[in-house]
Amino acid sequence: MGRSVLRPYTIASGFYDFVLRLPTGKCGWCRFRVALPLAHPLGNSSEWATETVMRNWNLNWNWKSPWIKASYVAAVTTLFTFVGCWAVLAHQDAAPPAATSGANDTTFAKKAAAGGIAEVKMGQLAQQKGTAASVKKFGARMVEDHSKAGDELKQAASQSSITLPNDMSAKDKATYDMLSKLSGAAFDRAYARDMVRDHEEDIAEFNKEANGGQNPAVKDFATQTLPTLQDHLKEAKEMRQNVAPGSPAAAKNGAGNTGRR
């Protein structure tokens, strides 16, 4: 390994530049530069010190010089301070994703619970106010399937200490109130339309959790429930087509009666 080269020259500022280049390789060291201002007069007062480049660790330095010792201590201290700060910041940057993932699982579970409650209550309403046989049938299935799914979600949530809501969301409450004011074919069409939209949104959320969830219990619930929701969407689309204006079933059940909107 070569030795350092000393290049003395006169500079106006009178600062001593100490450059430390650390070894690179598999150990992961990075090139690091430290500039230390050291007033070091040489000869008469009009001449000031020089720039020294340290290209490797195997150098022939006069370590008895207090200026060299001070420079070395300062450089090493600065280096390890930098590495320590970098390690702390790296750990802080890596921590939030795990916390965010856990929060996403909890948010999904709470939203799924509230949505399931809404599906059950709207299904009961469909059995009461629905005119078409397909609407009443679909409403009955919603009550049965989402009641079962709700119980399964409660078990998954209890394993993870997640507190679930016991009522539907404000948005679903508004939809329920709107549907409760309708009757006849108007109710059938509005209910069928809302069930298609709701299940499309639910499938997207459940699919996201099934593929990217971090909580094993909640993720498994989403995976197991997803096929049922996909079947619901298929049936909801058939129901919507069945009660659409102009269809034989809609005409039979009085599609001309729009009810109150």
Same domain, 117 and 51: no
Same domain, 151 and 71: no
CA dihedral angle for residue 195, residue 154, residue 223, residue 220, rounded to 10 degrees:
170
Residue 88 lies in a domain: yes
Residue 212 lies in a domain: yes
Model confidence at 257: pLDDT above 80? no
Same domain, 130 and 213: yes
Domain boundary among 52, 72, 93: 93
Same domain, 79 and 183: no
Same domain, 62 and 42: yes
Say how many domains are in the chain. Answer: 2
Q: What is the CATH number of the domain that holds 220?
A: 1.20.1260.10
Q: Enter the tokens of residue 258.
A: 């729009």
Question: Residue 135, by phi and psi: left (phi above 0), alpha (psi -120 to 50) or beta?
Answer: alpha
Which of the residue ranges 9-18, 32-41, 82-91 has the most confident prediction, judged by mean pLDDT?
Answer: 82-91
Same domain, 144 and 228: yes
Q: Using an 8 Å Cβ cutoff, are 217 and 156 in contact?
A: yes
Residue 75 lies in a domain: yes
Residue 79 lies in a domain: yes
Model confidence at 144: pLDDT above 50? yes
Residue 261 lies in a domain: no
Greater model confidence, 190 or 20: 190
Interatomic CA distance for residues 253 and 226, integer angstroms: 33
Same domain, 18 and 40: yes
Same domain, 116 and 244: yes
Q: Which helix (H) or strand (E) holds 135?
A: helix 133-159
Confidence of residue 147 (pLDDT cuts 50, 70, 90): very high
Same domain, 118 and 86: no
Whether pTM > 0.85 for this model: the answer is no
Q: Using an 8 Å Cβ cutoff, are 79 and 32 in contact?
A: yes
Residue 258 lies in a domain: no
Domain boundary among 66, 93, 120: 93
Same domain, 84 and 121: no
Same domain, 83 and 138: no
Same domain, 234 and 148: yes
Domain that holds residue 87: 6-93
Model confidence at 1: pLDDT above 70? no
Residue 1 lies in a domain: no
Residue 86 lies in a domain: yes
Q: Enter the tokens of residue 225.
A: 């429930």
- Please name which of 137, 144, 140 lies closest in space to residue 123, comparing C-alpha atoms: 140
- pLDDT tens sequence across 218-240: 999 999 999 999 999 999 999 99
Domain boundary among 93, 123, 157: 93
Non-local (6+) Cβ contacts of 119 within 8 A are 142, 146, 198
- pLDDT tens sequence across 182-195: 999 999 999 999 99
pLDDT of residue 78: 76
